[in-house]
Chain A
Amino acid sequence: MTALASAKDTEMVVNKNSASPNRVIDIDNLSLTFETNDGPVHALSDIDLKIDEGDFVSFIGPSGCGKTTLLRVIADLERPTAGSITVNGVSPEEARLNRAYGYVFQAAALYPWRTIARNIALPLEIMGLGKDVQQHRIKKNMELVNLSGFEKKYPWQLSGGMQQRASIARALAVEPDLLLMDEPFGALDEIVRDHLNEQLLQLWAKTNKTVVFVTHSIPEAVFLSTKIVVLCPRPGRIYDIIDSDLPRDRNLDIRETPEFLKIAHRVRDGLRAGHSYED
């Protein structure tokens, strides 16, 4: 708890001093090259990206363009080979040690020997929260992802989509100010996806969280985001950053409006251009 409190303090100090008040992520000229057996892989090249508090940012781009890698750099799961990055004004490592973010992996990554409820309890146990707080958060977040009643089930007794929802509940239970989500809804059907999109949007609007979200779906990116980052491959770099002017308070009907379609169109153009580099 003290760690979290001090994290907030440093953040405030930094905010006072820096030019832009609520900068959560600041990426400058960042590159990452994987050294592999068959030569270097330029996963990220010259990335410049600023994300402010309360932003909902989507990364979209063809497979292999470095979306996951960029998210992992923010989470301190990967070290950049050049350039700089700060998270909450400090290095990604410090931010991680301050438990600044919650991370939803592309795969559910549930522990097979733990029931769903105990999987969600895992980060809470590690943070050393009290049992009743744990119970409360487990219940609340399982309801949020529509998994009530599956507390005692083991992961393999659930469908892939349900497992993915459990992993989202696990990340939300940490109640982080910054949510990093790697294709969290990729394995879900359209209806459940719509439902969870709305839930996530509500949660975001209510709590002023900052969300960084990876997706392959143009409508999902446009519906959720305040900022859409279109990436293109080889080497992975930013092709376009689109600031959405859709109102923060939206519902699914917005997908039929011309404003929505205009943004979707621009994203699609960006993706096409990105793909054409491959040929």
Chain B
Amino acid sequence: MTDATLTQGRSTSPFAGLMSGTVGPVIVVVSAIMAIWYIAAVALNTPFQYDLYERAGQTDVSTSQLITDTLAQKKPVLPAPHQVVIEIYKTTVEKKITSKRSLIYHSGITLSSTLLGFLIGTSLGILLAIGIVHSRVLDKSLMPWVISSQTIPILAIAPMIIVVLNAVGISGLLPKAMISTYLSFFPVTVGMVKGLRSPEVIHMDLMHTYSATRLQAFWKLRLPYAVPYLFTSMKIGMAASLVGAIVGELPTGAVAGLGARLLAGSYYGQTIQIWSALLMAAFLAGSLVALIGVIEKLTLKRMGMNR
């Protein structure tokens, strides 16, 4: 960081000032993405726009008119960023939360099954890891299943989970949450197994000289060691949970949730709606992962490991 700032301080490039600190680079990257997005939107929407002109008998259209029109279509192939932003604004700020058309309402639905699934998945992952670390038999018998479970595409298994659970009378939040669980237990299991096995030999030897029981060694050594691993895998698990919840809303023809919005959007070619649901999902995932990051920081600080 300091080295970079120093060299930039000396250079005479006009970008030197812009690229120092964090705000500058972030602005540059975001603007670059926006520019690419707008160019792509114009390029992708132009063919359809020509169709429209043809049908309307318009022949002499200026380039600036063409660009304005491609960025203002009702069902564009690729909506422009501002269209998505306006849609999000309309469906969040301007709609009551209880409204079926409120994006916040739908996000809430998806969020609740995400969180439930994440909670179950994380607990399951931790328990599996504890079993695997402490028993050779479980290590040999469970680990292959844990790994092969993730080789099945979630899109294939999601409808089955929902149908099976519906058949035994479980519907609503839980089937969706199960899919989140299915996706999120894996990174937690793998991360925790690694974490619980990571204590240095000398630290394990120390426990040995105290004749500590396995339970004592677990609480006083393995678990604290695994905490940073747990947080890393929880971040992955949380993002996977959200994907699981959205995927879980697709096959059931669910009426609510971000997945339902995506599905409805694609039925009716409402690309702007799809994109706003997508962005909302991305924002949600980002916030949840950031939240875990904050809890991680506080926890590690309490544990004195915040070097």
Contact = CB atoms under 8 A, between A and B. Distances in A.
Interface stretch (B2-10, B181-189, B206-214): B206-214
Interface in A166-201: 174
Nearest to A75: B209
Contacts of B54: none
B211 A97 contact: yes
A111 B205 contact: no
A111 B203 contact: yes
B209 A156 contact: no
Given A75-B209, A77-B208, A154-B304, A111 B224 contact: yes
B304 A105 contact: no
Interface of A is mostly: loop
B211 A99 contact: yes
Given A109-B203, A113-B305, A126 B216 contact: yes
Contacts of B304: 112-115, 154
B196 to A, nearest CB: 15
B205 A105 contact: yes
Interface in A76-112: 76-77, 96-97, 99, 101-103, 105, 107, 109, 111-112
B210 A123 contact: yes
Interface in B191-215: 200, 202-203, 205-212
By size class, the interface of chain B is 20 to 34
Contacts, number: 51
Max chain B Cβ within 10 angstroms of own Cβ: one of A102, A107, A154: A154
B307 interface: yes
B220 interface: yes
Given A105-B202, A154-B304, A156-B307, A111 B209 contact: no
Given A105-B202, A109-B202, A126 B224 contact: no
A96 B211 contact: yes
Contact of A107 (B202, B216, B227): B202
Interface in A122-163: 122-123, 125-127, 154, 156
Most chain B Cβ neighbours within 10 Å, of A96, A103, A105, A113 = A113
A127 B210 CA distance: 8
Contacts of A111: 203, 220-221, 224
Given A107-B202, A125-B220, A113 B209 contact: no
B303 interface: yes
B188 to A, nearest CB: 21
Contacts of B303: 113
Interface in B213-237: 216, 220-221, 224, 227
A109 to B, nearest CB: 5
B307 A122 contact: no
Nearest to A118: B304
Interface in A19-60: none
A112 B305 contact: yes
A113 B306 CA distance: 10
Contacts of A107: 202
Contact of B209 (A103, A114, A154): A103
Nearest to A128: B216
Given A105-B202, A111-B224, A113-B304, A77 B210 contact: no
A122 B211 contact: no
Contacts of A101: 209
A75 B202 CA distance: 13
Among A75, A114, A115, A126: residue with most chain B CB under 10 A: A126
Given A103-B206, A103-B209, A105-B202, 14 more contacts: A76-B208, A97-B211, A107-B202, A109-B202, A109-B203, A109-B206, A111-B220, A111-B221, A111-B224, A113-B224, A113-B305, A126-B207, A126-B211, A126-B220
13 contacts: A77-B208, A77-B209, A101-B209, A102-B209, A105-B205, A109-B203, A109-B206, A111-B224, A113-B224, A126-B210, A126-B212, A126-B220, A154-B304
List 6 A-B pairs, minimum CB-CB distance, nearest first.
Answer: A154-B304, A113-B303, A103-B209, A109-B202, A126-B210, A123-B210
